[in-house]
């Protein structure tokens, strides 16, 4: 009898009613992206760190999915732009003038920012009814009109750019400047901001991980009853390294290890807050880094483990990041070796939030939710590696072709072009040591064609990183 009544009601009220009931039962998930800064591929336990203990991240990976071929852009600002927009930096000016002197990111006196016409994850899910919050480093333009509050975030607590910018002491020894290795807060004039107001200046770097964590936990607790998107962009372990008192000497891996172990604690605090709020089975948490380790900083930089090179290059060590997806009861636990990219976070978030990514522009990401749920393989089969607006390498399946290589920021290995390209089999040679181009001309031809096809989709845009204000702006 009960069944019969249900059927009659269903027919009478029609499809719309059935759909709205389904939507109530399956509440759209919260989405949290935790981004480390300059963390290397092998800097956490589950990705091979021999001397850094990260029990919370290791457990997160064991309970969720650990992606071993997940990629980002080779340096901070382009990587953050790609993550938030699902578009390659070459499409929206998120690069420096080739051959120019800009540091290939937005500077502390940048006159430009991520163009406001771009649609960020925050804007997209906000339009679908999500509450949006950001904690941490922005680095997509320091002027008020480019800050997070103008890019879809309801709230922001953090710093507008890297905490090694606006240096107040001499640094004529470049990366070997002593201040980087014995930092004091007053060596940098970096503001800590809440929304559009400066809270503190200079910020005390040693407090950042702890305070970002407190803010993230408070956001989760306060917003737990509605779908939310939270972007936690740690300032560390980017140099200058700093950790709170409780983590001094915490690690067997020196100060760099201390810093990473505090971030591990922070990730644990976020997951604990979700459990405390009873929303862990309705929240996707993604952990990743923005780019590879900054190797010239030696023991103040991280490690890419078996991968070649680091930050600022299109070798694997510059762009392959440790990535973890966690969502108890929904993400099928396991190790994923399929290719994924930070570009895919925006379309994945859109699918989960029930929002449509913009259709009036070229998107470069894919919805990874079938992989997360264990219902299908990664839709991504190709990967394009850029430095500035220069396509330097292409990966397709297990093979990667390099057309151009160089050391980070023009140092070390000189810029070299290859015709035919270098070819590596990343399945058997993730360290990119053995060029096999001569033995596989068919694979080389295919990758050259793939690069040519991709280049035809790119409409030239102006580089935005070189535009700076005439004098440093005071807030
Ligand atoms: Mg970085």
Instruction: Convert the pLDDT of each residue in 294-326 to its tens digit.
Output: 999 999 999 999 999 999 999 999 999 999 999
The rounded Å distance from CA 238 to ligand 1 centre is 6
pLDDT at residue number 347: 98
Q: Of residues 76, 205, 300, 402, which has the active-site annotation?
A: 76
What pTM, to 2 d.p., does this model score? 0.94
Q: Under a CB-based contact definition with an 8 Å cutoff, are residues 87 and 118 in contact?
A: yes
402 is catalytic: no
pLDDT digits (tens, 9 = 90+) for 357-400: 999 999 999 999 999 999 999 999 999 999 999 999 999 999 99
pLDDT at residue number 47: 98
The rounded Å distance from CA 445 to ligand 1 centre is 34
The rounded Å distance from CA 10 to ligand 1 centre is 53
The rounded Å distance from CA 376 to ligand 1 centre is 31
The rounded Å distance from CA 292 to ligand 1 centre is 7
Q: Of residues 139, 205, 250, 402, which has the active-site annotation?
A: 139
- CA-to-CA distance for 81 and 237, rounded, in angstroms? 20
pLDDT at residue number 98: 80
The rounded Å distance from CA 198 to ligand 1 centre is 23
Q: Is the pLDDT confidence value at 2 over 70? A: no
76 is catalytic: yes
Q: 């407090």: which residue's tokens?
A: 207
- Sheet with 30-36: list strands edge to edge: 197-200, 192-194, 155-158, 131-136, 228-233, 30-36, 283-289, 320-326, 65-71, 334-341
């Amino acid at each position: 009898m009960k069944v019969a009544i249900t059927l009659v009601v269903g027919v009478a009220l029609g499809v719309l009613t059935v759909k709205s009931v389904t939507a109530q039962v399956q509440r759209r998930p919260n989405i949290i992206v935790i981004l480390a800064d300059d963390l290397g591929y092998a800097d956490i336990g589950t990705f091979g760190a021999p001397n850094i203990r990260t029990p919370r991240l290791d457990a997160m990976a064991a309970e969720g999915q650990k992606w071993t071929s997940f990629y980002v852009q080779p340096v901070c600002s382009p990587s953050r732009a790609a993550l938030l927009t699902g578009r390659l930096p070459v499409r929206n000016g998120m690069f420096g003038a080739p051959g120019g002197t800009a540091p290939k990111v937005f500077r502390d006196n940048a006159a430009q920012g991520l163009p406001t016409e771009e649609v960020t994850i925050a804007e997209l899910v906000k339009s679908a009814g999500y509450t949006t919050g950001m904690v941490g480093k922005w680095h997509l333009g320091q002027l008020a009109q480019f800050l997070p509050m103008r890019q879809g975030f309801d709230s922001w607590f953090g710093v507008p750019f890297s905490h090694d910018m606006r240096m107040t002491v001499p640094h004529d020894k470049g990366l070997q400047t002593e201040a980087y290795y014995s930092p004091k807060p007053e060596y940098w004039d970096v503001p800590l901001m809440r929304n559009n107001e400066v809270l503190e200046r200079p910020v005390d770097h040693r407090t950042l991980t702890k305070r970002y964590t407190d803010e993230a936990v408070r956001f989760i607790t306060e917003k737990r009853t509605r779908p939310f998107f939270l972007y936690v962009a740690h300032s560390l372990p980017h140099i200058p390294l700093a950790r709170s008192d409780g983590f001094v000497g915490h690690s067997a891996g020196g100060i760099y290890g201390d810093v990473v172990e505090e971030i591990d604690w922070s990730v644990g605090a976020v997951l604990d807050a979700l459990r405390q709020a009873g929303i862990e089975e309705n929240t996707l948490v993604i952990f990743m880094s923005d780019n590879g380790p900054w190797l010239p900083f030696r023991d103040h930089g991280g490690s890419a483990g078996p991968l070649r090179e680091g930050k600022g290059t299109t070798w694997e060590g510059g762009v392959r990041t440790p990535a973890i997806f966690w969502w108890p009861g929904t993400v099928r636990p396991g190790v994923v070796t399929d290719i994924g990219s930070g570009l895919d976070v925006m379309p994945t978030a859109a699918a989960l939030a029930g929002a449509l990514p913009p259709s009036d522009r070229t998107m470069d990401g894919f919805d990874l939710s079938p992989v997360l749920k264990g219902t299908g393989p990664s839709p991504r089969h190709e990967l394009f590696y850029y430095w500035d607006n220069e396509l330097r390498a292409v990966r397709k399946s297990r093979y990667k072709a390099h057309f151009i290589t160089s050391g980070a920021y023009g140092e070390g290995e000189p810029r070299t072009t290859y015709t035919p390209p270098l070819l590596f089999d990343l399945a058997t040679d993730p360290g990119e040591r053995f060029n096999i181009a001569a033995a596989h001309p068919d694979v080389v031809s295919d990758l050259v064609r793939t690069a040519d096809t991709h280049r035809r989709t790119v409409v030239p845009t102006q580089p935005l990183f070189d535009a700076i204000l005439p004098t440093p702006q005071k807030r």
